[in-house]
């Protein structure tokens, strides 16, 4: 009896959580295929009469300038992700392979920085970016996104710790320096960790709204996340177009996640056991 009750509670809670998570997405899909008159006269829970009505998608993509926003997003993501992976791997390699004074202090500072709410540092960060002459340039976002996170360092550290140090020692006997050891031996063995960090940081950057909206006043420079906000002003009463824009925004990152999700699970699993 207890087992039946536990199973009922488990599957019931899973079903409830699934409904709560999927219901908003379902309403967006319904709204995206309705025209304006159907949207305002029918219930949000009512399916669209014509599933082949793609006018809202065309209007959101063309009038909203989503093509340029996708190009901006790809550029920012590519540069910031590559830089973020390298800085995180550098930091993890230095903290794991070298013994130096202040090593524990550096680790503590990374943990402390992770605990400080980002909003409390926005004033000083904004002044720093403006002082560097990066305000209203995409490099402001790239520099901020390249910042090393404690999660990325943790993932890289677990993989680097699993690599035998005899590889480093053999390379040093052959005359290799630390830079060459990192790029020729350590980094090629971090592919699962790199894939995990790329997905985690990529999704976070793709969905980021606050930083692009704060640092990019020129609408032509903004990524796709802020383009959706522009629909609110220009298409304030046309929610069916906004729903179509949301779907267009979700599709690329959803496809990327579905293809690479196993690397995320493998990366966290490996990090938990090594």
> What are the pLDDT tens digits along the chain (274 aa)?
677 788 888 888 888 888 888 898 898 899 889 988 888 888 888 889 888 889 989 988 888 788 898 899 999 999 999 998 998 898 888 888 888 888 888 878 877 777 777 777 888 889 999 999 999 999 999 998 887 677 888 888 888 888 888 888 888 888 888 888 888 888 888 888 888 888 888 888 888 888 888 898 888 888 888 877 766 665 556 788 888 888 988 888 788 777 777 666 665 555 544 4
Q: Whole-angstrom Cα distance, residue 81 to residue 77?
A: 6
What is the count of structural domains for the chain? 2
- Looking at the structure, do residues 63 and 43 belong to the same domain, yes or no? no
State pTM to two decimals: 0.78
Regarding whether 105 and 147 lie in a shared domain, the answer is: yes
Same structural domain for residues 168 and 233?
A: yes
Are 175 and 192 within one domain? yes
Shared-domain flag, residues 127 and 250: yes
Can you tell me the distance from the alpha carbon of 130 to that of 127, in angstroms, rounded to the nearest whole number?
A: 5
My answer on whether 83 and 198 are in the same domain is: yes
Both 215 and 81 in one domain: the answer is: yes
Question: Is residue 48 located within the same domain as residue 99?
Answer: no
Residues 33 and 78 in one domain: no
Same domain, 48 and 63: no
First CA to last CA across the chain, in angstroms? 40
Cβ-based neighbours of 42, under 8 Å, separated by 6 or more: 34
Last residue of some domain: 52, 78, 93?
52
Q: Whole domain around residue 17: which residue ranges?
A: 1-52
Retrieve residue 253's tokens: 């990152």
């Amino acid at each position: 009896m207890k087992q039946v009750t536990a199973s009922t509670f488990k599957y019931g809670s899973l079903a409830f959580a699934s409904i709560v998570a999927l219901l908003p997405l379902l309403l967006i899909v319904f709204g995206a295929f309705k025209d304006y008159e159907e949207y305002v006269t029918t219930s949000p829970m009512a399916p669209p009469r014509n599933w082949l009505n793609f006018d809202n998608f065309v209007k959101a993509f063309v009038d909203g300038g989503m093509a340029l926003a996708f190009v901006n997003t790809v550029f920012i993501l590519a540069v910031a992700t590559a830089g973020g992976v390298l800085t995180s791997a550098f930091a993890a390699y230095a903290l794991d392979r070298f013994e130096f004074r202040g090593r524990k202090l550096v680790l503590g500072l990374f943990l402390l920085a992770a605990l400080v709410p980002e909003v409390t540092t926005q004033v000083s960060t904004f002044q720093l970016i403006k002082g560097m002459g990066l305000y209203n340039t995409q490099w402001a976002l790239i520099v901020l996104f390249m910042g090393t996170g404690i999660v990325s360092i943790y993932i890289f550290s677990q993989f680097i710790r699993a690599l035998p140090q005899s590889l480093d020692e053999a390379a040093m006997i052959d005359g290799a320096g630390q830079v060459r050891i990192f790029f020729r031996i350590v980094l090629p063995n971090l592919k699962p960790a790199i894939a995990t960090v790329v997905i985690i940081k990529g999704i976070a950057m793709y969905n980021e709204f606050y930083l692009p909206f704060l640092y990019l006043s020129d609408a032509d420079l903004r990524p796709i996340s802020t383009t959706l906000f522009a629909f609110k002003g220009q298409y304030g009463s046309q929610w069916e177009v906004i729903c179509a824009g949301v779907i267009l925004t979700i599709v690329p990152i959803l496809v990327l996640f579905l293809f690479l999700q196993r690397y995320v699970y493998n990366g966290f699993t490996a990090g938990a056991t090594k």
